[in-house]
Structure 1
Amino acid sequence: MTTVTTQTALETTGALPLAEASQPGRLLSLDVFRGLTVAAMILVNNPGDWGHIYAPLEHAEWHGCTPTDLIFPFFLFIVGVSITYALGSAKRATARHAALLGRVARRAAVLFGLGLLMALQPKFDFAHVRIMGVLPRIALVFLVCGTVFVKTGWRTQLGLLATLLIGYNVLLQLVPVPGFGLPNLEPATNLGAWLDRTVLGENHLWVQSKTWDPEGLLSTLPAIGTGLLGLLAGQWLRRPQPETASRVVWLLLASGAASMLGLVWNLWLPINKSLWTSSYVLYTGGLAGAALAALYWLCDVQGWRGWLTRFGRVYGVNAITVFFLSGVIARWLNMLQVPTESGEVPAKTWLYERFFTPFFSPVNASLAGALACVLIWYAVLWLMHRRNIIVKV
């Protein structure tokens, strides 16, 4: 990763930031939305005690959707919106498409590499490294959506979205699973789980399951659909016509329709984050669109600059940076040992038991630990923000 300010990057290279921070003066709501989403990621990924968590801060056990299950699709939706703002002007210069797509591919490769580097922490065990994950999925969605945006129009993108969602539904519910027989939606025996074991191998899957991966290969197809919803929303907001109020209203209506369609589709194909089902794409994508419309109206149209706006923007301009560093440091804190009277304990456990468990109930101590993590990283990002430091990949 290279540390630069957005202004310096534009002045010295002419490059556009691909999907990290919005360009100055363009869309404050996008930075705020991104920042709030990443802060929520850090909150749910860093409880003080995994055995004591408030229900809304946990993923659904399998089918269903909790507030925590909204976070990752919101971020992929934001990636799609960001692409339209980062590449929209350059897209019109068709002679530059090859160079533009090269930049998209390079950034996707760096994101994928950062995901592997995070997964290797702290032991660097290549024989058991998880290949897929949050950053690799972001990389693949960015690569496909960036390419599609540069080379196609919104009608083609809408058609591709429908094809991905319907096609994925057909694969999950109609294609037999080798070695298991009839199609099914069970964790270890669905078609996606079989594909992950066959292509990646059990040693390279999510360690908590070992037989399937919630960010697996097949479910990346509908995850691209989430990015495409963001592309469509971003292009709609960038249109000069109709007037601003109408754009917001129509985005809210379209978002509500998408969520309703997702709920209807749920009757046949359950909403499920780990499978990233087609119903889940539409339901969460609709909620993301509604959230963006509300923030756009408040921040960019009405000029609202409350504390939540400032908090979100500080997180939003260095979103990938804080996600990567918070994940790496958490892994190291779990590995480093601190000597105590009863023996050595992980540094994270020592900090938690010293500063939180004596003062709160177990579930509140766990929440307090997660909130402290969010605030500590906010302090770091605030200092970076004051110095106009943006870390780009």
Structure 2
Amino acid sequence: MPGQLQIAVLPSTNPRLGIVFALYPSTELSSPEVASMGMTLPSVPRTHELPPVPPDAPFIARERLLSLDVFRGLTVAGMLLVNNPGTWSHIFPPLEHAEWNGWTPTDLIFPFFLFIAGITTHLSLSSRRARGDSERAIRDQIIRRGALIFLFGFLVNGFPYFAWANVAGIPDPTFLQRVLDRLMHWRIMGVLQRIGIAYMVAALLTRKTTLRQQVVILASLLFGYWIVMTALPVPGEGTIGALLLDRAPRTMEAWVDRVVLDWTRFGMGNHIWVGGVTWDPEGILSTIPAIATAMLGNLAGRWIGQRRPLTERLSGLFAGGALAMMIGLMWNWVFPINKSLWTSSYVVFTAGLACISLATIMWIVDFQKVRGWTRPAVIYGVNPIVAFVGSGVMARCIYSIIKVPYDGKRVAIQSAIYQAGYASWLSPRLASLAFALSFVLLWYVILSLLHKRGIILKV
């Protein structure tokens, strides 16, 4: 059923036909939706073509732009690369987040996810309407998908669902005590949780509103967040938020996180990101402008799906992206570009850069037809939920949980592999990068096997 969690092995003489997944949301294997996502997989024989696209389907359905798959896949590969270094102590600067204000290429990955989600959401909804789905069915599916994506992230946060390290105050804890300790510190928010919320709210807001109404909503989110973060006094701090933007634990965002997510005052533990303790980088308040990122992707999807020549749409994406980047950089003067706070300037700037990046890929792949290099990107992009959840669980296992004897002591298996296989003969930064690249390659192999067998995790 649409919106329910499915693990499907789709039989076919060419199993690649079964691999159709749009990053938030996924799609059914119906021709209009498959086409609307730009899902053109390489080297599929013409004997396996899908049924014709209805004449009233969105224009993009007739083109099946491969660039959308490539953009999504490159983003997935980038996520795997920056999230899994050999050691966090030795990372090349472009592969780590900005210390606070500003940005690096790593800070672009998350908003690019949300941006492409907004694009595919618009195209998916247009296709569902073209095939006659009711508005109620569309609404219900949006809500179910958003909830499932949130649930995935929540479950990943809790893995392995018991405290594998020491439990404070208990020298020899029982398994039940370990489980209870984990529950007391189970982080509620996270990356997938933010994606689920942003996708769901943005899809519901844009489902039946006009373009003008969407622009008004978008502006309200961005300017409203700016006002709340800068003009209002932060409770307990004695000053307005604008004077505290460079102090993470003292911002309005941090205060809201403590009020909503820190339950120690009720004796129920602290459910904020363990690295922040007093604030969460994917917290409550900063999720509001993340909705705007998805809505900007929706607007880009509107433009891409129009009945215009590809060159005209490319020009529009380049121009719109450049304008958004310029606005973001100007806004940065008074509301700094900051990923952790997901500032309004960050939203507009990264959306502009996403537009230009997508337009560049469209020009190479769909206009110039240079496609020989695209297969790896498509492999990464067709099963993003598996890549995100699976790599997160694997990383937690090898970085923290699974211990092996090495050099006279028990260490995490990742540390042993890294020290013996990489750090023993490479400089620290190169060794760390080489391990990360190996992790990316490992997941290419895993995703390729799923691709060949037509296995897809559908939400």
Which category describes the TM-score, using the shorter chain as reference length? over 0.9
Question: Could you list the per-position Cα deviations for residues 28-84 of structure 1 after superposition, in whole angstroms to 9, with x for gaps in the alignment?
Answer: 111110110111111110000010001111111111111111111111101101102
Contact 2:38 2:67 in 1 (8 A): no
- Answering whether residue 203 of structure 2 is matched by residue 146 of structure 1, we say yes
Distance 1:12 1:332, change over 3 A: closer
Show the 5 A alignment for 1:24-173: 24=40, 26-91=64-129, 96-124=134-162, 125-173=182-230
Query: Deviation at 1:294?
Result: 1.3
Q: How many pairs align?
A: 391
Query: Deviation at 1:321?
Result: 1.1
Query: Deviation at 1:85?
Result: 1.8
Residue of structure 2 aligned with 1:313, choices 359, 371, 378: 378
Find the aligned partners of 1:15 and 1:167 in 2 and give their Cα distance.
40
Q: Which amino acid aligns with 1:175?
A: L
Q: Which amino acid aligns with 1:58?
A: E
Q: Which residue of 2 aligns with 1:233?
A: 300
Contact 2:33 2:127 in 1 (8 A): no
Show the 5 A alignment for 1:1-393: 1-4=5-8, 5=10, 22-24=38-40, 26-91=64-129, 96-124=134-162, 125-182=182-239, 183=241, 184-185=244-245, 186-201=247-262, 203-241=270-308, 243-307=309-373, 309-333=374-398, 334-393=400-459
Question: Could you list the per-position Cα deviations for residues 296-318 of structure 1 after superposition, in whole angstroms to 9, with x for gaps in the alignment?
Answer: 222223322132x1111110111
Distance 1:15 1:27, change over 3 A: closer
Query: Deviation at 1:153?
Result: 2.5
Rg comparison, structure with higher value: 2
Q: Which amino acid aligns with 1:238?
A: G
Distance 1:9 1:40, change over 3 A: closer
Contact 1:22 1:85 in 2 (8 A): no
Contact 1:337 1:345 in 2 (8 A): yes
Query: Deviation at 1:386?
Result: 2.1
Task: Give the secondary-structure state (helix, strand or coil) at the position aligned to 1:345.
Answer: strand
Q: Which amino acid aligns with 1:373?
A: F
- Structure 2 length as normaliser, TM-score? 0.81
Task: Give the secondary-structure state (helix, strand or coil) at the position aligned to 2:404.
Answer: strand
Query: Deviation at 1:249?
Result: 0.3
Question: Could you list the per-position Cα deviations for residues 184-233 of structure 1 after superposition, in whole angstroms to 9, with x for gaps in the alignment?
Answer: 21200111110011011171111111010111111111111111110000
Find the aligned partners of 1:352 and 1:41 in 2 and give their Cα distance.
20
Distance 1:21 1:347, change over 3 A: farther
Moved more, 335-344 or 280-289: 335-344
Contact 1:161 1:228 in 2 (8 A): yes
Find the aligned partners of 2:30 and 2:431 in 1 and give their Cα distance.
48
Distance 1:78 1:362, change over 3 A: same
- Structure 1 length as normaliser, TM-score? 0.94
Q: Which amino acid aligns with 2:66?
A: L
Query: Deviation at 1:341?
Result: 4.4
Contact 1:16 1:87 in 2 (8 A): no
> Structure 1 regions of 5+ residues with no counterpart?
none
Q: Which residue of 1 aligns with 2:48?
A: none
